[in-house]
Structure formats: structure tokens, C-alpha cells
């Protein structure tokens, strides 16, 4: 079973990029973030023509997440813990994989900048809610995948220049500590289960020639529960997608579970 995640940074601007990826790579499941559209504006017909079932949790102008699957989906929308939170940042689905079920979540964690504002308070609270919900899901003792744009740089090796990110909400100690809370619950960072190498990035800013100079960061992650981690065989960052015409500033990362 191959599962990918990709912050497309506007599905309407990146529809052809997505369709090309589905046709060329064809993951069994792909989690999308930052759709920047309401549910009705998603390109259902085009994606369905590639053989995918679609679950969308959209929002006008910003946020928005989706899960596309070659198998049927049982879907839950929204992260529990705060009924007042109207941001479309979390969608969860049960996906059939042979004789078993794999639970997959597509998430778009808040950026949190500037860190001295309520935006950072919201980010930390959202991460606390995610950890609480993940703890409950782990109790189900089934393969579980948390995939998406976490807006977290976990360690110095995950960015081109740690000093440049020292005061950023993506790299502050409180942010990284909460990411490690998830790992301490029993999740495995899929990429780090396969390599300790630095210079493996999933995001390059549009500014200052970041892509051309390979000044990237790793903020898109796939976290696996113990039952999912036991099935991990491969992790691939599809870096070449960043070099396409008018690309997203993120690239897909995908895992294969046996």
C-alpha cells in the first residue's frame, strides 16, 4: 500500500500537477493540504477519472484538506477538542487494504507565525489537541497514518540553516517538543526510520532562489503507529516535482507499507 502526502498550495492552480502525479505515480492513497477552496470547487470529475474516491474538507480562500483513495473511504472531518475551531485542517478516513483497515489522517497544522501573537498560541493548542486525539486512536490498535504539512522542522538536520530559523514558529523549542510528544506516544517518523541523512527537504520558498540554491526545510511528515511502522518498506521524497512549471512550494512524500 503506497500512501503519499502533498501540500498543493491551491488545488485550482495545481490541478494539472496533481493529475500528472496520480497518473505517473498512482499512490493508493494521497493526502492533500492547503486546497484553498470550498468543497464544491474541488476538481472531482478530473480526479475521479484517474480512479480515485474523494473526501474533502474545504474552506474558502485558505486551509482545506482532502484524502483521495483507490478504495472506498469512511470519513470523519475536523479535529476534536474545540468546537469553536472553524479551520478546515483535519480529515480522517478508514481505508480498506486487503482484509484489514488502515486509518489515515490528512492534516494541515497551523503555521503559528509571528510567534508572539495568538497565531502561535493557536498552533500549540492545535498540537495538543492532535496529541490527545492521536492517543485515543492508538488505543484502537490498528495501522494508523498521520500525514501532512505539520509546519514543524523537527531537528537541525531538517533545514538548510538552523540559525536562520531559530526564532520561527516552525522551529521553536515548544513546537519541536510537541512534535516529539507524538513520537513519544509511539509514532515513528517514517523518513527517519529509513535514514539519518540531512539535506532531505519537502519545502522550498518561492523567494530568494531557495529552490535553485537548495535552501529547503522538511516540514511535511508521515507518522506511523506501531502497527503501520512494522509494515514500512520504503520512503520517497518526490523532489523533482518542485522543478516543474508553476509548482507548489512543497513536494510529495510517500511511504510504502507491505
Of 186, 190, 200, 113, whose CA–CA distance to 148 is shortest?
190
Mean pLDDT calculated for residue range 111-140? 98
Mean pLDDT calculated for residue range 100-125? 97
Mean pLDDT calculated for residue range 22-38? 98
Predicted confidence at residue 82, as pLDDT, reads: 96
Predicted confidence at residue 227, as pLDDT, reads: 97
Neighbours of 212 (CB within 10 A): 9
Residue-averaged pLDDT of the chain = 97
pLDDT at 108 over 90: yes
Mean pLDDT calculated for residue range 40-44? 98
Residue 151 counted as an annotated binding residue: yes
pLDDT at 205 over 90: yes
Categorize the per-residue pLDDT at 54 as very low, low, confident or very high, splitting at 50, 70 and 90: very high
Predicted confidence at residue 127, as pLDDT, reads: 98
Categorize the per-residue pLDDT at 40 as very low, low, confident or very high, splitting at 50, 70 and 90: very high
Residue 149 counted as an annotated binding residue: yes
pLDDT at 156 over 90: yes
Predicted confidence at residue 98, as pLDDT, reads: 85
Catalytic residues: 108, 149, 250
Residue 180 counted as an annotated binding residue: no
CATH of the domain at 117: 3.60.10.10
Predicted confidence at residue 99, as pLDDT, reads: 85
How many structural domains does the chain have?
Answer: 1
Report strand pairing: 2-7 vs 29-33: parallel
Residues whose CB is less than 8 angstroms from the CB of residue 169 and which lie 6 or more positions away in sequence, other chains included:
111, 112, 113, 114, 115, 119, 120, 123, 151, 175
Domain residues for the domain of 112 are 2-257
pLDDT at 157 over 90: yes
Long-range contacts of the stretch 165-169 (C-beta < 8 A, 24+): 165/217, 167/115, 168/113, 168/115, 169/111, 169/112, 169/113, 169/114, 169/115, 169/119, 169/120, 169/123
Between CA 258 and CA 233 the distance in angstroms is 6
Amino acid at each position: 500500500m503506497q500512501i503519499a502526502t502533498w501540500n498543493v498550495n491551491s488545488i485550482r492552480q495545481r490541478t494539472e500537477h496533481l493529475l500528472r502525479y496520480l497518473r505517473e505515480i498512482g499512490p493508493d492513497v494521497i493526502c492533500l493540504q492547503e486546497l484553498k477552496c470550498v468543497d464544491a470547487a474541488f476538481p472531482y470529475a478530473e480526479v475521479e477519472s484517474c480512479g480515485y474516491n474523494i473526501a474533502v474538507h474545504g474552506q474558502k480562500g485558505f486551509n482545506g484538506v482532502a484524502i483521495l483513495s483507490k478504495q472506498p473511504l469512511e470519513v470523519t472531518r475536523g479535529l476534536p477538542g474545540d468546537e469553536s475551531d472553524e479551520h478546515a485542517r483535519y480529515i480522517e478516513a478508514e481505508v480498506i487494504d486487503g482484509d484489514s483497515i488502515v486509518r489515515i489522517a490528512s492534516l494541515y497544522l497551523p503555521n503559528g507565525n509571528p510567534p508572539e501573537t495568538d497565531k502561535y498560541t493557536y498552533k500549540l493548542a492545535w498540537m495538543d489537541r492532535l496529541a490527545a486525539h492521536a492517543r485515543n486512536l492508538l488505543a484502537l490498535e490498528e495501522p494508523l497514518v498521520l500525514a501532512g504539512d505539520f509546519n514543524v522542522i523537527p531537528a537541525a538536520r531538517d533545514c538548510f540553516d538552523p540559525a536562520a530559523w531559530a526564532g520561527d514558529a516552525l522551529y521553536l523549542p515548544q513546537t519541536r517538543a510537541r512534535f516529539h510528544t507524538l513520537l513519544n506516544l509511539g509514532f515513528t517518523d517514517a523518513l527517519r526510520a529509513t535514514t539519518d541523512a540531512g539535506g532531505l527537504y519537502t519545502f522550498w520558498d518561492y523567494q530568494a532562489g531557495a529552490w535553485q540554491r537548495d535552501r529547503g526545510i522538511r516540514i511535511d511528515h508521515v507518522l506511523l503507529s506501531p502497527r503501520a511502522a512494522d509494515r514500512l518498506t520504503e520512503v520517497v521524497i518526490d523532489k523533482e516535482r518542485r522543478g516543474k512549471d508553476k509548482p507548489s512550494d512543497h513536494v510529495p512524500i510517500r511511504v510504502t507499507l507491505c
